[in-house]
Chains A and B, each alone.
Chain A
Amino acid sequence: MGRRFKKDKMKKILTLDTLYTILSFFASLVILGLIWEVVAIVTDRQIPGPASTWVVFKELIAEPFYDRGPNDKGIGNQLVSSIYRVFLGFGIGTLIAVPMGLMMGSSKAMMRLFNPIVQILRPVSPLAWFPLGLLAFQAAEGATVFIIAITSLWPTLINTSFGVATIPADHKNVGKAFGFSVWKYITKIMLPFALPHIITGLRLSIGVAWLVIVAGEMLSGGVGIGFFVWDSWNGLSLEKILIAILIIGTVGLLLDKIFNAIQQGFAWENK
């Protein structure tokens, strides 16, 4: 009875809270639009305002997947190929970062051996990696995926190793006392404990990957949202650049929300 009441009350508060969140979101969009409009007025419409951008946006969105040759593709095509590249690079990065992180977290010697390498390579800009990528893969496509992989793997690696390194002695003792095999230790103790940390790392990594894609595609050309920005600059369509910025931001937000949801799903502490 009392529990039922509590549940109903919880539900009510939740909906009210959700309503405020939605309202705040729209208010936030209005503020952004106002700032944008002010900037447009101040720059004497050199930077187009929301209204004129909206007109161009409607044209773009009317036919998102057209394909008229290598340098003229719809905004949807550009976005899809960027997302594909991001996930390819992010996936490769993850395949390197997670095992490395598990290894570094579980052994002090490994940590001492590899941590300096991590610390040196981590702050390197994606642009600096690009020529190396070109050399190694002899193609712009490979180079773009390469720079995404190598710049986005660090958060996952560092978080994974941190997660594994902080496994409490209590959990380790269970493995020792009951003679867990290495495989059982990894699958039943190490991975479950480190999983929330790993997913936090993945969430940060996908953010970095999405940040890098624009720079990568500007250099590589071809097709993609980054190339679209550069192409619009050459075509002197500032509206398109602004649209691309908003799309990049929105997709980044969605990616973060998706990984946040995964994070919530795997957190055993909350159950």
Chain B
Amino acid sequence: MVLTDHLSETVAETPINGKATINSIEVKDVTVSFKSKKGVYTAIKDINLSIKKGEIVSLIGHSGCGKSTLMNTISGMVTPTTGEVIANDNLVKGPGPDRGIVFQNYSLLPWLSVYKNIYEAVDSVLHSKTGEEKKQIVTDALAMVNLTPHKDKLPGQLSGGMKQRVAIARAFAISPKILLLDEPFGALDALTKGSMHIELLKLWNLDHRNKTIVMVTHDIEEAIFLSDRVVVMNNGPAATIKEIVDVPLPRPRNKKDIVHDPMYMEIHDRLLSLLFDKFSINDIH
């Protein structure tokens, strides 16, 4: 099994170069409140976050801390109550094809084949392209995630990992500048998860690390392995950003070697202490 995203040699551009100053996403003073029967519930409060082009950022926190809500304000699925989100220099007013979304539960249409699931998204977003071009894009996307032999299957006939690969291929196929992943590997077993991390980085590399990726997760190892920065959130309601932890580990990262890196261990410890206050039974009073 390949454990590194070894295609890095082909990469010409890195986020540290000239484009580093260009922000891909800017979240400005965003507060999101929902009206419920019990009154107004504030999910996230006064969030400020800038994400550079080509950066991979993880949002991490406990269940219900509003990390998905924050990401949904970027995708446009949720409108901020106050504040604003700028994505690709445009004010976010709703979902748009410049931001590809991979949902936690895959969100494939169960009555369409794998091929058709990707094709309908491509057809909808890239409507100016010819039929042949669209078909080529779908074929390429399927090949990218090694699903060509399964293209005529319905989602119900696929394993969880395969479904998620279809969802990722669909998001990549519309070539968005920003990729938003909502707990993308949360429902997968640990082994599948590990290989999916490598696949995701491979796709990111193939695209010359141009795509900005924002990912919601509750897996510390996953966050460190994939991200340039990890945004740790406080517990809700009215959740805020607790701390942003930089992950300056060099790429390509090797899943096996990285865990022995002193820097990795330091970051891992930092994240653990940010997220937990009890580390053994001795800490329970």
Contacts of A173 in B (CB 8 A): 77, 101, 103, 107
| A5 interface contact, C-beta 8 A | no
Contacts of B107 in A (CB 8 A): 170-171, 173-174, 177
Interface positions, chain B 90-111, Cβ under 8 Å from A, are 94-97, 100-101, 103, 105, 107-111
- Provide the bound-state CA to CA distance between A238 and B85, in Å: 80
| B29 interface contact, C-beta 8 A | no
Chain A, 163-203, contact with B by CB distance < 8 Å: what is the 0/1 string? 00000001101101111110010001100110000000000
Interface pair A271/B156, CB less than 8 Å apart: yes
| A44 interface contact, C-beta 8 A | no
| B275 interface contact, C-beta 8 A | no
Interface pair B154/A268, CB less than 8 Å apart: yes
Interface pair A170/B103, CB less than 8 Å apart: yes
| A59 interface contact, C-beta 8 A | no
**A233 CB, min distance to chain B CBs, angstroms:** 50
A185 closest partner in B (C-beta): B124
Interface pair B109/A184, CB less than 8 Å apart: no
Contacts of A8 in B (CB 8 A): none
Contact of A177 with B75 at beta-carbon distance under 8 Å, contacts A188-B112, A188-B120, A271-B154 already known? yes
Interface positions, chain A 183-242, Cβ under 8 Å from B, are 184, 188-189, 192-193
A181 closest partner in B (C-beta): B124
Interface of A is mostly: helix
- Which among B97, B112, B154, B157 is the interface contact of A178 at CB below 8 angstroms? B97
Contacts of B123 in A (CB 8 A): 184
- Which among A177, A188, A271 is the interface contact of B109 at CB below 8 angstroms? A188
**B225 CB, min distance to chain A CBs, angstroms:** 26
A189 closest partner in B (C-beta): B109
**A255 CB, min distance to chain B CBs, angstroms:** 26
- Provide the bound-state CA to CA distance between A170 and B106, in Å: 9
A271 closest partner in B (C-beta): B154
Contacts of B74 in A (CB 8 A): none
Interface of B is mostly: loop
**B50 CB, min distance to chain A CBs, angstroms:** 23
- Number of B residues contacting the other chain (C-beta, 8 Å)? 26
A266 closest partner in B (C-beta): B111
**B113 CB, min distance to chain A CBs, angstroms:** 11
Interface pair A171/B174, CB less than 8 Å apart: no
Interface pair B124/A170, CB less than 8 Å apart: no
| B206 interface contact, C-beta 8 A | no
Contacts of B101 in A (CB 8 A): 173, 177
Contacts of A192 in B (CB 8 A): 109, 111-112
Interface pair A184/B77, CB less than 8 Å apart: no
Interface pair B110/A176, CB less than 8 Å apart: no
Interface pair A184/B120, CB less than 8 Å apart: yes
Interface pair A171/B77, CB less than 8 Å apart: no
Interface pair B124/A178, CB less than 8 Å apart: yes
- Provide the bound-state CA to CA distance between A172 and B51, in Å: 28
Chain A, 227-271, contact with B by CB distance < 8 Å: what is the 0/1 string? 000000000000000000000000000000000000000001101
Q: Which of A178, A188, A192 has the most CB of B within 10 A?
A: A178
Interface pair B109/A174, CB less than 8 Å apart: yes
Interface pair A179/B109, CB less than 8 Å apart: no
| B145 interface contact, C-beta 8 A | no
Interface pair A269/B124, CB less than 8 Å apart: no
Contacts of B154 in A (CB 8 A): 268, 271
| B220 interface contact, C-beta 8 A | no
| B125 interface contact, C-beta 8 A | yes
- Provide the bound-state CA to CA distance between A174 and B111, in Å: 13
Interface pair B121/A171, CB less than 8 Å apart: no
**A97 CB, min distance to chain B CBs, angstroms:** 22
**A196 CB, min distance to chain B CBs, angstroms:** 10
Contact of A268 with B124 at beta-carbon distance under 8 Å, contacts A173-B77, A178-B97, A179-B96 already known? no
B94 closest partner in A (C-beta): A176
Contacts of B174 in A (CB 8 A): 178
> Can you list 24 pairs linking A and B with CB atoms under 8 Å apart?
A170-B105, A171-B109, A173-B103, A174-B121, A176-B95, A177-B75, A177-B100, A177-B103, A178-B120, A178-B124, A178-B170, A179-B96, A179-B125, A180-B120, A180-B124, A184-B120, A188-B112, A192-B111, A192-B112, A193-B111, A268-B111, A268-B154, A269-B156, A271-B156
Chain A interface (Cβ < 8 Å from any Cβ of B): 170-171, 173-174, 176-181, 184, 188-189, 192-193, 268-269, 271
Q: Which 3 A-B pairs have the closest CB atoms?
A: A178-B121, A192-B111, A268-B111
- Knowing that A178-B97, A184-B120 touch, tell me 11 more A-B residue pairs with CB under 8 angstroms: A170-B107, A176-B77, A176-B95, A179-B95, A179-B97, A188-B109, A192-B111, A193-B111, A268-B154, A271-B154, A271-B157
